[in-house]
Amino acid sequence: MTKLLLVRHGQSEWNAVGKWQGQADPPLTEFGMEQASLAALEIPDFSILACSDLQRAQLTAEIFADSKGWDKNRIITESRIQERDAGAFSGLTREEINKQFPGFLKNGIWPDDWESDEDLLIRLWKGLRRIINDAEGDSPIVVVTHGGCIYALESLCGGEYRRIPNLGAQWFEVEGKEIHLGDRIHLLPPEEETYPDQI
C-alpha cells in the first residue's frame, strides 16, 4: 500500500483576484510563498516529493524541499497532474463568467472545451502511477497538485465535494489499481487559509 498526500499549491496571483485558472500558469503571490513556508512545517516526512509542471505547484514544492533540506533536483515534475483544463472559463472571474455564460455556474454547465472528469482522471492516474513507481520504503509520497485534481479523485472514491483551501491536503491510499480516500488535513492555521472558489 502506498500513502499519497495530495496538496493544493499556495495562493497564486489569479487566486488572489478571483480568476479561474485551469491550465494557465500564473505564479504564486508573496502571500502564497509565505503559506507554503508555513505549511512545510506540517508536511510529514516523505520518500518522494512531486509536483505538476505549473509554476504555482513547482514553487510550492521547492519551498517544501528547502524547508525539509531535500535536494530540489530530486523533485519529480509530472505534467499529467496539472489542473483541469477550464476551457473558456480560464482567465475569467465568477462575475465575468456569469455575464458571458449566463446560468452556467448556477446550473453546473461547463463550456464545450472544459476537461471532463473522465479525461482528467485518466491522465491524472497515469501521472500518479509514474510517481508511485519510483517509491521505495514505507514513507508517504507528497504530491503538490491542484484543487480540481483533488476534487476529481475524492469524487472517484465516493467523497462529497468540500472546498479545499490553498495548502489544504488530502490523504489517499493506493493498493494495486485501486485508490482509497483518507483524511482531509489542514496544513495552515485558519487565519492563513485562503479559499479560492475557482480552479
Alpha-carbon distance of 11 to 180, in angstroms, equals: 27
Q: Give the range of the structural domain holding residue 175, as residue numbers without chain letter.
A: 2-86+115-192
As for how many domains the chain has, the answer is 1
pLDDT tens per residue across span 95-153: 999 999 999 999 999 999 999 999 999 999 999 999 998 777 678 999 999 999 999 99
At a CB cut-off of 8 Å and minimum separation 6, what does 5 contact? Answer: 43, 44, 46, 140, 141, 142, 143, 169, 170, 171, 172, 185
Alpha-carbon distance of 134 to 75, in angstroms, equals: 12
Q: What CATH number does the domain containing 10 carry? A: 3.40.50.1240
**Range in 16-25, 40-49, 188-197 the model is least confident about:** 188-197
- Residues marked active site are found at 9, 83
Alpha-carbon distance of 102 to 193, in angstroms, equals: 30
High-pLDDT (> 70) share of the chain, %: 98
Alpha-carbon distance of 22 to 39, in angstroms, equals: 23
Any domain includes 66: yes
High-pLDDT (> 90) share of the chain, %: 90
pLDDT band, very low/low/confident/very high, at 168 (cuts 50, 70, 90): very high
Backbone angles phi, psi at 50, to 5 degrees: -135, 160
> What's the pLDDT at 176?
84
pLDDT tens per residue across span 19-39: 999 999 999 999 999 999 999
Q: For the whole model, what pTM was predicted?
A: 0.95
Any domain includes 110: no
**For residue 119, what are the CA distances in angstroms to 62, 83, 85, 188?**
28, 12, 10, 31
